[in-house]
Amino acid sequence: MEFRTDMALERRDIYKKANDIEDEIPGIETEENEDGENIRITKVKITNEQGEKALGKPIGDYVTIDTKNLKYASEDDIERVAINLSLRLQEIMNKHITKEDDILVVGLGNMASTPDSLGPKVIQDIDITRHLIKYAPQYLENGVRPVSAISPGVLGTTGIETQEILQGIIQNVKPKIVVVIDSLASKSIERISSSIQISDTGIVPGGGVDNARKELSKKTLGIPVIAIGVPMVVEAATIAVESIDLYISHMQQKAKSNEHLNCLKDEDKYTIIKEALAEEKYNLIVTPKEIDDLIENMSSIVARGINKSL
């Protein structure tokens, strides 16, 4: 199956629908919570190889925090989402490290391109302590953990794979864990810069805006990788396919039943459209016009969530 989304939650829904599964997929466990009417938290647990194969993602926990109407979020809303993020982060970090272990926070993406700027923007607001512990300990409370942070840039502006940069820095800085802020591809426009997926299985390449990236994970970096992924992209072909389905449904309602239309619906439209659009040589991304407001609020949430958890 080709999911065209990096979100475990969406993959689960797609897999269930495609295979007419009513209950839960074997190897998958799900748990849902709400915090008020605007925040919903869903944990998708991939428990064995069967689940791994079904969703195409490694065994592990994938927590999604969905926020409604983030564009118009008040200061209180932002604070509440940040607290939720921080609690989930702490939970995951406690599995891997102690309270005094070194952490490196990495913001992927490109500051010069708004729809790809979340990572670098979050890094600007992370409370860095590693150098203060050495040079200005008088401004810190006792027992503060060393936190460092970097925005390595993107392949197109550095010429260097993020993996190469991080491997080098980790060899020298020797953190115990990496927290990566990353952009994801989703299938739903509503999730763009409005949802957060937290996992500790690293980043599988191919996702998000910058798809030339090589895997960042314990296997390639040598230490655990916690990924805070935020959907930033819906592929143009995904939008097109959904539009065709919407259109066909509309035609069918009008025309009652129609054999040919049913045929159309089952075809592999994605590949055909993807190829047709690709001939134009550009990578198209679809983004809401309000992307700058959304990123402003989301960047504040992620930075606070991380700072609170450290």
**Does 21 contact its own copies by CB under 8 A?**
no
C-alpha–C-alpha distance, residues 57 and 62, integer Å: 10
CB 12 within 8 A of CB 25: yes
Q: Give residues 47-76 in contact with its own copies (rule: CB under 8 A).
A: 72
**Does 119 contact its own copies by CB under 8 A?**
no
Piece of the chain touching its own copies by CB under 8 A; list 2-10, 28-36, 58-66, 271-279:
271-279
Taking the complex as a whole, the smallest distance from the CB of residue 238 to its own copies amounts, in Å, to 10
| Amino acid in the structure at residue 166 | L
In the numeric block, which tokens belong to residue 254? Answer: 């009008």
**Does 285 contact its own copies by CB under 8 A?**
yes
| Binder among 83, 87, 97, 291 for its own copies (CB under 8 A) | 291
Q: Is 241 helix (H, G, I), strand (E, B) or coil?
A: helix
Show the site string, 165-204: x = touches its own copies by CB under 8 A, - = not. Answer: x-xxxxxxx---------------xx-x------------
Residue whose tokens read 């864990």: 177
Show the site string, 75-114: x = touches its own copies by CB under 8 A, - = not. Answer: -----------------------------------xxxxx
**CA distance readout (Å), 26 to 17, 60, 122, 250:** 14, 14, 37, 35
Taking the complex as a whole, the smallest distance from the CB of residue 151 to its own copies amounts, in Å, to 7
The most distant pair of C-alpha atoms in the chain lies apart, rounded to whole Å, by: 76
Taking the complex as a whole, the smallest distance from the CB of residue 166 to its own copies amounts, in Å, to 9
**Which of 79, 71, 133 lies closest to 103, judged by CA?**
133
CB 59 within 8 A of CB 53: no
Piece of the chain touching its own copies by CB under 8 A; list 7-15, 43-51, 214-222, 276-284:
276-284
